Amino acid sequence: MKSSDCVFDLETVSVAFSASDGLHMVLKDIDFKVRQGDWIAIVGKNGSGKSTLTKVLTGLCPISRGTMHTRDQTLVQLVFQDPDAQIVGETVYEEICFGMENQCFDPVDMPKQVQNVLQQIGLNVQIDRPVSTLSGGQKQLLNIASCLAVHASVLIFDEATAMLSPMARGKILDVVHNLHQQGVTVIWVTQWMNELSYAQKVIVLEQGNIAFRGSCQDFFYPESSESGSSPCEQLGFSPPYAIQVARNLLRNGYSLVNLPTCTEELMQAVKASWQ
């Protein structure tokens, strides 16, 4: 890829906070690149540095050491864990227009833009509907719509499904997957292992360090299919059920053409191996 395709380029980025008992390193020598159109999953347990990293990427947290290069005119928007945390408007229309007003969009264009982004994410509600009457999943869709309304090219999701029901989590993932297919760059921060299947690269943080980087297959599967533990297990996470089934099949001598990372891929791999 050309250098112009690089959205973020982090070189030995460290973040330290001062506390009463001294200096605490929250991020330590973080190096990675995000290209236009990437889907990067950032995984880590509580206190690993995930949220601090998202704040660095959005410019909300200063860097103590190292450098971060950002492509010019890249608009980054962050979707928080709590759906209510970033909502300020009383109605759907007011909420989506809030960001556009701050960026001096022409008021004449706003009604059409509101309808466009609601249609884009499949949120079928009246624009004058009070935000307080929306479900948690609908509020999170509204937050995504607000990001799209200002033409964000990079969306960062900081455990954006953590407070939602399984059905709402699936809906959010499907919507983001569709946006990614349209060219939106996605940085997906999570502790849910079954949310990694869309990611092109997985980065695991542990005590502020990058403990793993690689593909989903490299994360979920050991180097030897017969024995050993995967990086996922070595870092203290439980593989999704589909991965456990696939690995049991491999251990019992079944040949899978592709290593699946979700239930749908498992079904396809099993079907292909029996043909």
pLDDT digits (tens, 9 = 90+) for 167-218: 999 999 999 999 999 999 999 999 999 999 999 999 999 999 999 999 999 9
- My answer on whether 21 and 64 are in the same domain is yes
Q: Is residue 219 part of a domain?
A: no
In a domain, 21, yes or no: yes
Instruction: Examine the domain organization and report whether 64 and 45 are in the same domain.
Output: yes
Q: Distance (Å, rounded) from C-alpha 35 to C-alpha 41?
A: 13
**What pLDDT, in 10s, does the model give residues 42-83?**
999 999 999 999 999 999 999 999 999 998 767 999 999 999
- What's the burial of 155, exposed, middle or buried (CB within 10 Å: 0-12/13-18/19+)? buried
CA dihedral 35, 39, 45, 46 (to 10 degrees): 80
Residues 122 and 34 in one domain: no
**137 and 48 in one domain?**
no
8-state DSSP, 194: G
Residues 100, 158: one domain? no
Statement: residue 31 has pLDDT above 80: yes
- pLDDT at position 240 is 96
* Within a domain: 271: yes
Decide which of 223 and 238 is more confident: 238
> At residue 100, does pLDDT exceed 50?
yes
- The residues near 99 (Cβ < 8 Å, ≥ 6 apart) are 146, 147, 149, 150
Nearest CA among 216, 224, 212, 200 for reference residue 262: 216
Verify that 116 and 234 share a domain, yes or no.
Answer: no
Same-domain status, 68 and 1:
yes
Answer yes or no: is pLDDT of 1 > 50: no
Note whether 119 and 229 are same-domain residues: no
Same domain, 197 and 238: no
The predicted pLDDT at position 227 comes to: 61
Give the total number of structural domains in the chain: 3
4: confidence class by pLDDT, cuts 50, 70, 90: low
Same domain assignment for residues 185 and 53: yes
- At residue 258, does pLDDT exceed 50? yes
Query: Which residue range forms the structural domain that includes residue 32?
Result: 1-74+153-165+180-214
Give every CB contact of residue 82 below 8 A, 6+ residues apart in sequence: 163
